A and B are shown apart, each in its own frame.
Chain A
Amino acid sequence: MDKTRNPVIIKLNQVKYTWPGNNVPTLNIPHLTIKPGEHLFIKGPSGCGKSTLLSLLTGINTTTEGQVEVLGEDLSQMSGSRRDKFRADNIGYIFQQFNLLPYLSVIENVVLPCQFSHQRKAQVTGDLHANAAHLLDKLHLDKTLRDKPVVELSIGQQQRVAAARALIGNPALIIADEPTSSLDYDNRSAFIELLLEQVNQANSTLLFVSHDPTLEPLFDRSIDLRELNQIGEKA
């Protein structure tokens, strides 16, 4: 997909989301746009709707009101399996707990998204495993670790494997959900710098969610979800 064609990569319009069984909406965002190539920092303490926002952006849940457009496509209009395919093709996701599969080696974990998405596999130039190894190199992961089971890696190393997994196949959008909360400060900055470098090379958009305000200066733009989410005012 041509990332430069759309002037906005994410557009939220009058979005409201109410979890099933709740009376009041958890999320109420009148407007949000994110431009391609932006590095956006979304901050906010736990419980302010971060997970809900991410689940809407990734199409796990669909809005009860309003539109969520990602790459120019309205996610709420898509069928469940279309959203699954869309997510697999266009979104690289880094989890708070990294979530590597313990029974796969480092390289196998990295190439995993390409096994479920033809588009991301097609966007890899050259050999898939060589590409994964290259990414890991650039994220400064020791060569000797590539074929090790992931459980033998340190937290910092696992984090870099998770980043490589999100980056492979150059997805248009990379979402990082508090990926640094288990790292110490020095490792955190180093990790984010490496991540940003790779995101730039891949020409992807980065959405970085964290409750840690000290990371804010590293990003182009920063949004406080408490300000964005007008839940208290309209409910």
Chain B
Amino acid sequence: MSPTLSLAWKSARNRKVTAILTILTVAISVILLLGVERIRTEAKSSFANTISGTDLIVGGRSGQVNLLLYSVFRIGNATNNIDWRSYQEFSQHRSVDWAIPISLGDSHKGFRVMGTNHSYFEHYRYGKKQNLAFTDGQEFNNLFEAVIGADVAKKLGYQIGTEIIIAHGISDVGFSRHDNLPFKVVGILAPTGTPVDKTVHVSLEAIEAIHVGWESGANLGNNPTAEQLAELNFQPKQITAMLVGLKSKIQTFALQRQINTYNKEPLSAILPGVALHELWGMMSVAEQALMAVSVFVVIAGLLGMLSSLLTSLQERRREMAILRAMGARPRHVFSLLILEASALTFIGLIVGILGLYTLLAIAAPIIQQNYGINLTMMTLSHYELSLLAMVQGAGTVIGFIPALRAYKQSLSDGMTIRV
């Protein structure tokens, strides 16, 4: 160890309470900076992971963000439905591998109810092309059976066999409930970290069935019983949207164009990736605000270090004068303080990184279990490393302020000990 470094170390150790506090200040700001950065990237990737493997989303003619919001995120409502015949035509199109029909509009205690069919459980993918999995039970086979998402099961405490009442529309109030036709929970899905967790899935036929007698939008009476309905064969007339998987990605644009120019009905086909990107762009303000907050926290942390260095400088005048008398030149005094500021920042960074990984290790299983977001314990990315390098650089630069002061003081004090 060089003499100056060893002196800086011993001197700082002599003031260890302040030094530890300074290190903690830096460490906490680093944890926050990296934490926010992690959450931001994880949120972005989990956002992008909401839907995966779907090549086109088809709905009534509207903007792509709107279509994405209601079909995938279950936010807002469709402006228009798709005719069942259009669904049949495109699902049997030669370039289409699979198609998932979606029918939205009803709700259960704040959770959206979605009508769909078997291909949803087979083809719907999220995250890194993961299939839906059941923690309990299986998919629906009969008319009044429902499969619920992980959040629904958890929040409402539902289990296999629980009977639920679905409400018409998205406000679950007494007069709009389909309360003569309860559904039975037959399956609970594993957490995905996507809106699937907050969805109650029923069959398309069930959506049709519960609306018998509701054609005008309200219950006008004469509702059939479940037994009567079970004997009928319900053919959906309309659906809200459809998710399409193609045999080959090359055909994506051709089919998109064909759907968009379909002359029997005004339809929109969107590429989920493009729409997701546009949607994320709208949220980038929040993203930047988060980043700005953590940058300010780092600045506050470094200013804390600056103030503690400047305060200690007055007490250390004597120490500096002794060093000067021992032959230390002003540049030694200068580098002593730079070294101290750099070392405190560096140790703060290391403690911060360790702290972050400790927190991640503790939080990751909990978050995975509750939110389905997989916080990977990946090593520091290039971006994170460059952030850390900037913090280190700023710490060293901040060291110049007390160093210059000490330099000037030691020039004027000389060896005279002024305490």
Q: Which residues of A contact B277 (CB under 8 A)?
A: none
Contact assessment for B10 and A55 in the assembled complex, using a CB-CB cutoff below 8 Å:
no
Contact assessment for B415 and A113 in the assembled complex, using a CB-CB cutoff below 8 Å:
no
Q: Which residues of A contact B415 (CB under 8 A)?
A: 55, 58, 60, 93
Contact assessment for A61 and B414 in the assembled complex, using a CB-CB cutoff below 8 Å:
yes
Given known pairs A51-B416, A99-B322, A101-B322, the reply for A115 and B14 (CB within 8 Å) is no
Contact assessment for A95 and B330 in the assembled complex, using a CB-CB cutoff below 8 Å:
no
Cα–Cα distance between A165 and B330 once the two chains are bound (Å):
20
- What's the dominant secondary structure at chain A's contact region? helix
Near B by CB (< 8 A), chain A positions 87-115 give: 87-89, 93, 95, 97, 99-104, 108, 112-113, 115
Q: Which residues of B contact A165 (CB under 8 A)?
A: 326
B 345-376 binary contact with A (CB < 8 Å = 1; else 0): 00000000000000000000000000000000
Residue of A nearest to B12 (CB): A103
Q: Which residues of A contact B319 (CB under 8 A)?
A: 101
Counting chain A CB atoms within 10 Å of each CB, which of B322, B328, B332 scores highest?
Answer: B322
Contact assessment for B329 and A99 in the assembled complex, using a CB-CB cutoff below 8 Å:
no
Q: Which residues of B contact A81 (CB under 8 A)?
A: 329-331
A84 interfacial contact with B, CB 8 Å: yes
Near B by CB (< 8 A), chain A positions 126-166 give: 165
Contact assessment for B318 and A99 in the assembled complex, using a CB-CB cutoff below 8 Å:
yes
Contact assessment for B329 and A103 in the assembled complex, using a CB-CB cutoff below 8 Å:
no
Cα–Cα distance between A232 and B129 once the two chains are bound (Å):
97
Query: In the complex, what's the smallest C-beta–C-beta distance from A106 to chain B, in angstroms?
Result: 14
B327 interfacial contact with A, CB 8 Å: yes
Given known pairs A99-B318, A103-B10, A103-B13, the reply for A116 and B417 (CB within 8 Å) is no
Near B by CB (< 8 A), chain A positions 62-98 give: 80-81, 84-85, 87-89, 93, 95, 97
7 A-B pairs with C-beta separation under 8 A: A80-B330, A84-B329, A87-B327, A88-B329, A95-B417, A99-B325, A116-B329
Interface of A toward B, CB cutoff 8 Å: 51, 55, 58, 60-61, 80-81, 84-85, 87-89, 93, 95, 97, 99-104, 108, 112-113, 115-117, 120, 165
Interface of B toward A, CB cutoff 8 Å: 3, 7, 10-11, 13-14, 318-319, 321-332, 411, 414-417
